[in-house]
Every structure is written in structure tokens, then in C-alpha cells.
Amino acid sequence: MADKILKKLNIKVWRQKNASSKGKFETYTIENISTGSSFLEMMDILNNELIEKGIDPIAFDHDCREGICGTCSLYINGRPHGPDTEVTTCQLHMRKFNEGETITVEPWRAAAFPVIKDLIVDRTAFEKILQAGGFVSVNTGGVPDANTIPVAYEDAEESMDAAACIGCGACVAACKNSSAMLFVSAKVSHLAKLPQGQVEAKKRARNMVAKMDELGFGGCTNTGACEVECPKSISITNIARLNREYLVSRLSR
Amino acid sequence: MSILNSKIPEGPLAEKWSKHKANIKVVSPANKRKLEVIVVGTGLGGASAAASLAELGYNVKAFCYQDSPRRAHSIAAQGGINAAKNYQNDNDSVFRLFYDTIKGGDYRAREANVYRLAEVSPNIIDQCVAQGVPFGREYGGLLANRSFGGVLVSRTFYARGQTGQQLLLGAYQALNRQISKGNVEMYSRHEMLDVVKIDGKARGIIARDLVSGEIKRYGAHAVVVATGGYGNVFFLSTNAMGSNGSAAWQCYKKGAFMANPCFVQIHPTCIPVHGDQQSKLTLMSESLRNDGRVWVPKKKEDAVKLQKGEIGPNDIPDEDRDFYLERRYPSYGNLVPRDVASRAAKERCDAGFGVNAEGKAVFLDFKYAIDRLGKDVIAARYGNLFQMYEKITDVDPYKNPMMIYPAIHYSMGGTWVDYNLMTSVPGLYSIGEANFSDHGANRLGASALMQGLADGYFVLPYTIGDYLADEIMIPKIDTDAPEFEEAEKEVTGRLEKLYNIKGSKSVDYFHKKLGQVMWDYVGMARNAEGLKKAIEMIKEIREDFWKDVKVPGDLDNLNPELEKAGRVADFLDIGELMARDALDRNESCGGHFREESATEEGEAKRNDEKFTYVSCWEYKGESEEPTLHKEDLVFENVKLTQRSYK
Ligand SMILES: Cc1cc2nc3c(=O)[nH]c(=O)nc-3n(C[C@H](O)[C@H](O)[C@H](O)COP(=O)(O)OP(=O)(O)OC[C@H]3O[C@@H](n4cnc5c(N)ncnc54)[C@H](O)[C@@H]3O)c2cc1C
Ligand code: SF4
Ligand code: FES
């Protein structure tokens, strides 16, 4: 419970100046880190030390630090978001590491997520997939009273389970094929489970899958690594639902 | 005073908005196609506005500093969103929501704005459901509600503990649909660094492409700022790390008044500060107070033992626990509004009854609710929040009470706007947390999401038409105009200046120093002496900052330190203005406890005679003191009473 101090850690981290330059690993040491600190707080402290030494700080993505915005990434010791389960990197705490350990930190590795700098990758491919149909076509105003669209409790819960995806990309990073199936299936299931999303369900699945393929994500071979590494425990049963929607949409064309 | 025309429509409160809508101008579809609007920020306010404006037919350019609009700070909101639907038949109504909000804000908000907010609130829920927001449901399939701090009816809609996320995803989906149609050009990883005025009107912005470092010009017939709040001036807060007040500050420097900057909200239920390596405070949703009971030990010796870690909370028997909220406020108990709960926690801790090593925490205990309802019910209600708490603190809240402490959370103050949400600069609008309207001196829970979406979906899309109708003859804005060139030069000059200081201390060093001054003197309790001291201290930090800050990296590359440096430079200025404003307001109201103005029982004492106004600060130049203008608040429909939750 009480915080301890890790006296010394080695941080082996990927450094890459920009998208077009070649990257390499550098190792830094850091001292006196509280086990109550988050991984990103450790990175802040490391960065402040680097700045004082005249070394460029390590660029990494983060914002909310509450495990909900999906901005933070980091491949830590060979796992997306590090060794803890069901958490993002900002919610990973240093109590998960040992005294004297060498921690390896890399950016997400996937062709569809090119590195921008150091540990920051470009995830706009996710945006493009969503723009291909991840919405209900409704304008502002002129909609019916909310309670005229009843939704069974279980359906709302299942929809919410899928809607909890934070778009972090850990599933892609975890997958040996760099497939985006878990992410896409989460959005498709979120909307397909609700009456409002039904009308466009088939078209949505078809368009989003086509976009995903076009953007260079790999195919899904059901290895399940995505589910294991997903910080929001998005279930691969969503992939089955996506496959069903997709199949139906192909058949009914 | 003409420069402060709030444009509140005439007529009875309940008819103001509909009459106003009937009277303001509408732009024809053909003309909308010729008009461009810039929306800076894609949180709930900005995303809903950008999508709605694009649906109407305007050409929209939207900006955010994150890599995706979906990551805006709005995503972090946990608890819920209010709406006067009266689905629970517990006698809720538009008037009751209006009244609770006005009262909760300690009568420092405009009646007309707040009434409109309550009036459009039911439409928000309809809109979000139509978009596919998976709100919590009853078994019969209808929407579920819960009650939230400071109110006695159940009017809060929620999507587990992830309401903000789901509402934002709804607005983001609407935005994506417009992006795919080509009606919105989305500029992610772009930061607005200045607003450009031509002939007195807002005509565009200067932004930095955060990846390439390039400074670019964007023109439009109107500019909407939806950039959120400035709570990060305190360094430690519940806000996202990138949240900043810079865009609003640039507007201020270009003539938009800053209103009530000293009004910031302190949220009572955050995970306490521990040690000195912390970067951020995590909020635990206020909904926890529905079932959790707040307490500290009755006996000081128990508190001391807790602080030393000699005993645990479960070693203290019920009769030795002081449920101080229930004791002091019997009718609201643990559900008192945020400012009351925060102050009460601080009072107990200051008196020596704090329960963690630092003596700066109180317990939020679920033991009683688990005994009454069973663990499963509590897990279903708060499971993900409990999990989050355990991940952060390594304590299981099913077995041990949570520890909480107040933290900076929300800025009620912000850019001054009139009833149309336009700032004092023509063509420059401000919506969501970035503006000052609707919450007065204190915001009730679940009202910020409501305000952001009300502004973006249902208010701005109408009111901006009133302005743009007169702009249809203005051709596409020429970004080669000298005004753009000058603004760009200024921005580049400022970045180079920061970069070339090449001092010895990191940006965070200064930010933390500023934050400490703000928390100590401009935080939960304030007095004139402390505020004067704070102003001087901030000046010193600023001087030091501009001499000794070290910005590494390159100007023409992705450079988070450079981004932070610009924001901290602005926070230094914002902090000083906050202290000035707090100094002027020699009364206690809302979350702003002025030590010189307290009742005998130690409760906040408002002074309506002298302070029933919005303070509006006008920028006068770099080293000049700003001018204070006052917008008098007129209450015709509610009687100003001392707030009581006893
Ligand atoms: C942890 C937490 C929980 C909360 N829970 C609740 C709740 O339960 N209910 C409730 O009603 N409210 C809640 N709130 C408050 C509420 O979430 C916010 O007030 C609200 O979401 C603000 O929305 P916004 O659209 O105004 O701004 P934000 O969501 O903050 O969006 C700001 C946008 O501006 C952009 N931006 C900022 N600066 C620039 C710049 N210079 N250039 C370009 N882009 C810029 C950002 O990229 C972002 O897109 C909570 C807040 C927090 C922190
Ligand atoms: S499915 Fe899980 S891992 Fe993939 S993007 Fe969503 S939250 Fe992240
Ligand atoms: S920083 Fe938002 S999820 Fe980690």
C-alpha cells in the first residue's frame, strides 16, 4: 500500500527525430522513483532531467492521464500499455516494476501507424475508418423524444460495452497482423446493438471494413492478442458480430 | 455602457428565447455556402457546433491540438448530464432546473442565459439518443436517471461512468459525418496561437501545425472559440494535461473581455495528492456521493494514528466517526453542492482531522451501502470507478473506504459573451467552458456537459446566423491581408523569443511554482493580503520565466516543450488576472471563499448589495493594468436568498 522508492531504473527508449529519419534505442538511467507514480510521471521526471542535461526530451503522446482519452500509447517491455492488464499507460503505476530493472519503451509498431517522433505515432487511419461510416446519419434537431426509442437494458449494456473503446490502437499494436478488427468491430457493435444504428448497419460494416483494408491494416486470424491487451476489455465477440454484419451485407447486396 | 451590451431580449423569462429566435436573422442556404466559420476546439462545445454548422451549410474549419477530436478533454467527464425531462415524475421542470442552477451558482449568473440552458436541455437528450449514445436504461427500455450533488430530483442522464466520453463520441460521429461529406475541414494537431481582426471584426486565426512546426493563416467570416477551461493554471488539477487558457487569452488581448476569472471550481471528490512526483489529480465521480458516506474521526488522536499509519479506517468504530456533512447539512447530507462539500473537507483537515499521511484527505465509505444493497449492486453502479481507484491507489474500495480531497476542476469564469454567445469582439464567439456564462460562482454537477452541448447544438447555430446574415457580401477572407501578416509575425516572434531564452530551468519548474502560489493564495480560501502577495509573486515568477526558461528541441518539429512553454507563459498572465479579480470581489460566493466575508458559523457570506455583477476585464496593454467593467446582474424571477442546505 504505502509507496516505496525505486532507487534506480534503466529506461531503454526508441528515439526518432521525425517520420523520415531513422530511429534507434538510447538508454537512460533514472533514480528515486516513487512506486505510487504513474509511468508517465516517471517519464516526466526523466524528461526534466534530460532537459537539464541538454538532451532533447522524449516525445510521447498523452493528455487526460485518466485512462479515458486514448491518447497515451507506449509499448513497454514488449506489451502495449505495459505489464498491467486493463489499463492504459497513464494508469500504469511504477509499483509494477522492480528495482534495477531495464524497461524497454517503444512506439506502436504498425504500417498503418507511422512514427511521427520518438514514441508518437500517427493514428489518423482510425479517423478515416470512422469517417467511412461510424455514425448514425442524423442532423441536429427534429429528432423524436428520447423515450420514444426504448432500448432493452441488456442491449444498451452490450452497446455500452463496445462503445467503451477509447481508440488507443493497442489492439493493432498487439496483433501480429496489425489488424484493426477489434477497433472496427467495437464501433460497429456499439451502433448495431441500438435501434438507431440499425438502418445503416450493413452499409456501415461494409464501408468500414473496406476502408480498414485500404489503409494497410492486416487481416484478422483470430489470435486474440488484441482482447488481452485492450485496456477497456473490448471482447472479440464483437469481431464475430462484425463478421456476421459484414457477411449479411455482402449477401444482401 | 454600450461596450457591455448583454443583448438580453425583452419580455417574460419563459418567452425570451423563442421571441429572440423569431427576431434574429436567418441566412439563406445559398448564402451559407459562401460563408466560412472557424471552430477552435472539438470538445463537446466545439464538435457539436462544428457538426451543426456544417449540417446547416456553412463551410467549417475545425481545430484541435490532439491527434483526434475524440480525445478532447470532455471525454473525461464521468458523472452525467442534466436535463429537465421529468421522466421520473418527481416534479422536475425547466423552471426547477433553472432555479437550481441559478441558486447553485450563488446568483452570479444571468437569468436569461440560465433559463435558456434549462429550456433546451431536453432536446440535448433527444439529440444524443438519436445519434446512438448508449445511455443507461431501465429494464422497461426507458432512460434511467440518477440524482447528483446539490439537487433533490433525479434529472441526471448517464452512460456508466463514461458519460462525457459517450456524448463526445456522439458529437464526434456527427462531426466525422460532415468531414466525410467535405463540409468540415478538420485540422488535428494544430494549435491556435492568435486571432486575427480586420476592421474590428474577427476574420481568422493563426495556428501552428504541431507536427511540422509550420505557422499558418486561416480566414473565416466568424471565429468560434471552444477551447475549454484554464484550470491548469494550478498545475495540479483534474484537467487534461494539454488543457489551456491560451486561445481565450489571445482573444482577451485582442479585445474580448475576460469575465469572472477568479471563479474556479474545486471538486470535492478527487484522489488526494501524494508525494511530490504527481502531475495530475484524478477525479472520482460525484455520483459516488449518492451511496458513499463521507467521514473523518471524531477524536483527534484517531486522526493522528491514521496519519502515522498505526491504525486503519476499519479500526474506528461507528460511534467514533464524524459524518460531518450529514451532521452539518441534514437535509442534503452527502449530496450538498461541490463548494459546500469542498469547504467542509478542508475545514476538517485544517482542524487536524485529515486521514492520510499528509493530513489532507477524508474518507468516502461504501461499507454502509454494501451492507444495505449488497456488493453486486454497488459494483454495477460504480464498478469501473472502483477499479480505477484501486489501480491508482492500490487500495480496494470494497474493503476500505476511499480517500478523497478537493482539487481544482472547472473554470466558471472565461471569455465574456452576450446572449448570442458573441464576445466583445464582433464575429468572435465563445462557447462551452471557455465562456463565462450560465454557471455563476459555482457549477452544479452534470451541468457543464449540458452547457457545452446546448451552446453547440442549439444556441450558437441560431445566433451566429444573426451576425453572418450581414456578412454575406464579404468575399472569402484574404489571408494575405496585412492584418494576417502582422499577426503571423507576432506569433513567430513570440515563439522565437521563448526558444531563444535558452535558460536553465524547464517549463514545468515554472508551472509548478505558479501552481503553488495559485493554490496557496487564490485557491479555496482567499484574503486581500494573500491576493496582493500572490500578484507580486506571480510577477516575479514571470520575470524569471522570461529570463531563464529552457525550451529544448526545434521550432520546426514536433516539440511538446515549446507548446507547454507558450501555455505556461499565458497561465502566468491568467493567474495574475485571477488574483486581481479575486481581490476586487470582497465577498464569499460559490467556490470562492473570502475569509473576510464569513458568517458566524463559518459559512460563506455573499454580499449582494455590492457584488451582484459580472466582472469584465479589458486588456490595456502588456504592462498596463487592465480595466474593470461591471455588468450588473438583474434578477426579476428569483429572489436572492442565502443558500442553505441544512
Ligand atoms: C475529470 C472530469 C470529470 C467531469 N465530469 C463532468 C460531469 O460528469 N458532468 C459535467 O457536466 N461536466 C463534467 N466535467 C466538466 C466538463 O467535462 C467540461 O467542462 C466540458 O467537457 C468542457 O467542454 P468544452 O467543449 O468546453 O471543452 P474541452 O472538452 O476542454 O475541449 C477543448 C477543445 O479545445 C481544443 N483546444 C484547446 N486549446 C486549443 C488551441 N489553442 N488551439 C486549438 N485547439 C485547442 C482542444 O483540443 C479540445 O478539442 C468534468 C471534467 C473533468 C475534468
Ligand atoms: S479496441 Fe481496445 S485496444 Fe483497440 S482501440 Fe479500442 S480500446 Fe484500444
Ligand atoms: S492519457 Fe488519456 S488515456 Fe492515457
User: CATH number of the domain at A124-251, please?
Assistant: 1.10.1060.10
Which cell numbers hold the place of B627? 480595466
Our CA dihedral for B141, B142, B147, B148, rounded to 10 degrees, sits at: 90
pLDDT higher at B602 or A195: A195
A146–chain B Cβ distance below 8 A for any pair: yes
Task: Indicate yes or no: CB of A69 within 8 angstroms of CB of B508.
Answer: no
Q: Where are the domains of chain A?
A: 5-116, 124-251
Which residues, 6+ apart, have CB-to-CB distance to B103 below 8 Å?
B638, B641, B643
Our CA dihedral for B588, B590, B593, B596, rounded to 10 degrees, sits at: 0
pLDDT band at B388 (very low <50, low <70, confident <90, very high): confident
Decide if pLDDT at B217 tops 50. yes
In chain B, what residues touch A190 (CB-CB under 8 Å)? 132, 134
Supply φ then ψ for residue A199, to 5 degrees: -50, -45
Which cell numbers hold the place of B2? 454600450
Per-residue tens of pLDDT for chain A, all 253 residues: 468 999 999 999 999 999 999 999 999 999 999 999 999 999 999 999 999 999 999 999 999 999 999 999 999 999 999 999 999 999 999 999 999 999 999 999 999 999 999 999 999 999 999 999 999 999 999 999 999 999 999 999 999 999 999 999 999 999 999 999 999 999 999 999 999 999 999 999 999 999 999 999 999 999 999 999 999 999 999 999 999 988 888 787 6
Cβ atoms of A41 and B277 closer than 8 Å:
yes
Q: Can you give the pLDDT at residue B287?
A: 83
Q: Stretch B346-352: mean pLDDT, rounded? A: 92
Taking CA atoms, B386 is separated from B176, B379, B383, in Å, by 33, 8, 5
Name all domains of chain B by residue range, CATH numbers in brackets. 40-265+410-470 (3.50.50.60), 267-409 (3.90.700.10), 482-632 (1.20.58.100)
Which residues surround ligand 1 with Cβ inside 6 Å? B 40-46, 63-66, 72-74, 76-81, 163-164, 191-192, 226-228, 238-239, 243-244, 246-247, 283, 409-410, 432-434, 446-449, 452
Residue B639 CA to residue B99 CA, distance in Å, equals: 10
The average confidence (pLDDT) of chain B is 95
In chain A, what residues touch B179 (CB-CB under 8 Å)? 131
Query: Looking at CA atoms only, how far is residue B365 from chain A in angstroms?
Result: 18
| Total residues belonging to chain B | 646
Residue B325 CA to residue B317 CA, distance in Å, equals: 18
Q: Can you give the pLDDT at residue A253?
A: 62
Three-class DSSP category at A12: strand
The residues pairing with B414 across neighbouring beta strands, listed in sequence order, are: B259
Residue A143 CA to residue A147 CA, distance in Å, equals: 11
Decide if pLDDT at B425 tops 50. yes
Residue B111 CA to residue B608 CA, distance in Å, equals: 15
Residue B615 CA to residue B583 CA, distance in Å, equals: 12
Class of domain A5-116 as given by CATH: alpha beta
Strands B215-219 and B201-209: antiparallel
Task: Indicate yes or no: CB of A120 within 8 angstroms of CB of B558.
Answer: yes
Direct distance between the N- and C-terminal alpha carbons of chain A, in angstroms, rounded to an integer: 58
Decide if pLDDT at B486 tops 70. yes
pLDDT band at B51 (very low <50, low <70, confident <90, very high): very high
Cβ atoms of B548 and B502 closer than 8 Å:
no
Query: What is the tens place of the pLDDT at every residue in B543-597?
Result: 999 999 999 999 999 999 999 999 999 999 999 999 999 999 999 998 888 999 9
Task: Indicate yes or no: CB of B160 within 8 angstroms of CB of A160.
Answer: yes
Q: What percent of chain B has pLDDT over 70?
A: 99
Query: What is the tens place of the pLDDT at every residue in B507-551?
Result: 999 999 999 999 999 998 899 999 999 999 999 999 999 999 999
